[in-house]
Chain A
Amino acid sequence: MPTRSFASLRMTTTGREPMGFSQTKDASGVAVVQVEGQLIVGNRQELKELVQAALDAGERRILIDFSRTGYIDSSGLGALVSISKKIREAGGELRLSGLNEDLRSLFELTKLDTLFAIAETPQQALASF
């Protein structure tokens, strides 16, 4: 999967895993955004801007993968709702993948599992476009 562009990946001050987002393009042309670390109030805007930039660049098939994500707060969930709306309004499609049991429980508790197309793995998500 060739690297297309990288958002800022920052190492936090306590030396934990990097927190940020990276974007690549799959061979089939799907924009794949990887969420590294947390998706919370402090960085949700960065994800929204990254997806908006992808839409502005003409991307219409977008996958957000959470295989390397620690936890998500309600602001992060809200950002995904906003992103989903933007993509729909642009005539595009969004898929989510890589949610472990704990992350998936957040979507189920808030009923957001009914709003998003969620695949178990990035490969399954890519095949579903």
Chain B
Amino acid sequence: MPSPLRLCVRRSPAPDGSAATVVTLRLPSDVACIEEAVELVTRHCLAGHDTSKKTRFRLQVVLSEALSNAIVRGNQEERGKWVHVQAELGPDAIRLMVTDEGKGFNPLAIPEPIRPEQLDEANGRGLYLIRKLVDAVQFNEQGNSICMILRRP
């Protein structure tokens, strides 16, 4: 039985004075934390909104995916490094930023994994899935921070 994770989120008004609420979370580079982090952030993102099952599902998958990338590829599962999540919860959209403490990568260098000869590959579908499941994806220049935007239905 894993030990309790003690993840904790902070809710605060957006600094720009907009109607958005900001939720932040910091988690260690341990894949065992992902499910609980997804659950916590999803709960905050959807609180007070009439949300479809599909939106919840998409949010869970892309968060899980981004956290997995940040922990495994970004931070290389180094226990001293953290993953930072910031969710800006606006009335019309959710902006989810996931940032790791790794050196970053070039998202344009990742090939689409749906060619027939690639179907048998075990890896390489994460970013592709994120792009398909959210309304917009942006990266910072370093490539260690992804911003995913989901419009509320």
Query: Do A and B actually bind?
Result: yes
**What residues of chain A have their CB less than 8 Å away from a CB belonging to chain B?**
10, 12-14, 16, 19, 37-38, 40-42, 70-75, 77-79, 81-82, 85, 102, 106, 109-112, 114-115
Contact call B72/A77, Cβ cutoff below 8 A: no
Q: Which residue of B4, B60, B122 is within 8 Å of A79 (Cβ)?
A: B122
- Which B residues are CB-close (under 8 A) to A114? 119
Query: In terms of DSSP, what is the predominant structure of the interface of chain B?
Result: helix
> Number of contacting residues on B, CB 8 A?
36
- Which A residues are CB-close (under 8 A) to B53? 102
- Is there a chain A Cβ closer than 8 Å to B25's Cβ? no
Q: A-facing mask of B96-124, CB < 8 A → 1, else 0?
A: 00000000000000000110100111111
Q: How far is the CA of A37 from the CA of B60 in the complex (A)?
A: 12
13 A-B pairs, CB-CB below 8 angstroms? A10-B2, A12-B35, A14-B36, A14-B40, A42-B35, A71-B57, A75-B68, A77-B125, A78-B122, A109-B133, A110-B114, A110-B125, A112-B119
Highest count of chain B CB atoms <10 Å: which of A72, A110, A111: A110
Q: A-facing mask of B122-137, CB < 8 A → 1, else 0?
A: 1111101100110000
Nearest Cβ distance between residue B47 and chain A, in whole angstroms?
15
Contact call B54/A110, Cβ cutoff below 8 A: no
- Which A residues are CB-close (under 8 A) to B34? 40-42
**Apart from A71-B57, A77-B125, what 6 extra A-B contacts exist at CB < 8 Å?**
A10-B2, A12-B36, A12-B39, A40-B31, A74-B125, A78-B123
Q: How far is the CA of A72 from the CA of B65 in the complex (A)?
A: 9
Nearest Cβ distance between residue B151 and chain A, in whole angstroms?
18
- Which A residues are CB-close (under 8 A) to B126? 73-75
Q: Which residue of B1, B40, B119 is within 8 Å of A10 (Cβ)?
A: B1
- Which A residues are CB-close (under 8 A) to B121? 78, 81
Q: A-facing mask of B19-41, CB < 8 A → 1, else 0?
A: 00000000000011011100110
- Is there a chain A Cβ closer than 8 Å to B5's Cβ? yes
Nearest Cβ distance between residue B4 and chain A, in whole angstroms?
5
